[in-house]
Chain A
Amino acid sequence: MLRSPAVVITMTVLVWFIAAFLLWPNANLLVQTFFPDGQFTGRAVEKLMSSERAMMSLGNSFLLAVTLALTVNAVGIFIVLVTEYFRIRGAKVLWLGYATTFIYGGIVLAAGYKFIYGADGIVTKFLAGIFPDMDRTWFEGFFAVLAVMTFATTTNHMLFLGSAIRNVDFQTIEAARNLGASSWTILRRVVLPTLKPTLFAVTILSFLTGLGALSAPQVLGGQDFETITPMILTFANSTTSRDLAALLALVLGVATIAMLSVMTRLERGGTYHSVAKVAAPLQKQPIRDRGANIAVHAVAYVLFLIYVFPLTLVVLYSCMDSAAISTGVLTLDRFTLENYVRVLSQQSALKPFIVSIVYSALAAIISVGGLLFVTRLMLKYRGWLMSALEYLLHIPWILPAAMIALGLLITYDRPNPLVGGFVLSGTVVILLLAFVIVKVPFTLRMLKAAFSSVNGSMEEAAAIMGAGTLYTFRRILLPAVLPAAAAVAALNFNNLLDDYDTAVFLAHPLYQPLGLQIKANTDGGASVEAIGNTFVYTVLLMVVMGTVMYLVYGRLNRVRRSPRARRVPLQRVGGDAGTPNADLPEGATTEESSAAPLR
Chain B
Amino acid sequence: MSVTPLVELRGIVKRFPNVVANDRVDFSLMPGEVHALLGENAAGKTTLMNILYGLYQPDEGEIYVKGKRVRIRSPADSIRLGIGMVHQSFRLIPVHTVWENVVLGLKEAGFVLNRKKLTDMVKKFCEEYGWNIDPNARVWQLSVGEKQQVELLKLLVRRAEVLILDEPTSVLTPQETKGLFKAIRTMAKSGKGIIFITHKLEEALEVSDRVTVMRKGRVVATKPTGEVTAEELANLMIGRPVLFKIEKPEVKKGGIVLEAKGLKVMGDRGVLALDGVNLCAHSGEIVGIAGIAGNGQEELMEALAGLRRVEAGKVFIDGEDVTNKGAGYLIGKGVSYIPPESTRWAIVRDMRLVENIALKFYRSRDFSGMLRIDWHKLFEFSRKLIDEYGIAAHSPSTLAGTLSGGNLQRVVLARELSATQDGKVPRLILAAYPTKGLDVAATEFVHSLLLKHRSMGSAIVFLSEDLEEIMMLSDRIVVISKGKVVGEFLSKEKTVEEVGMMMLKGSAA
- Are the chains A and B members of one assembly? no
CB within 8 Å of A: which residues of B? none
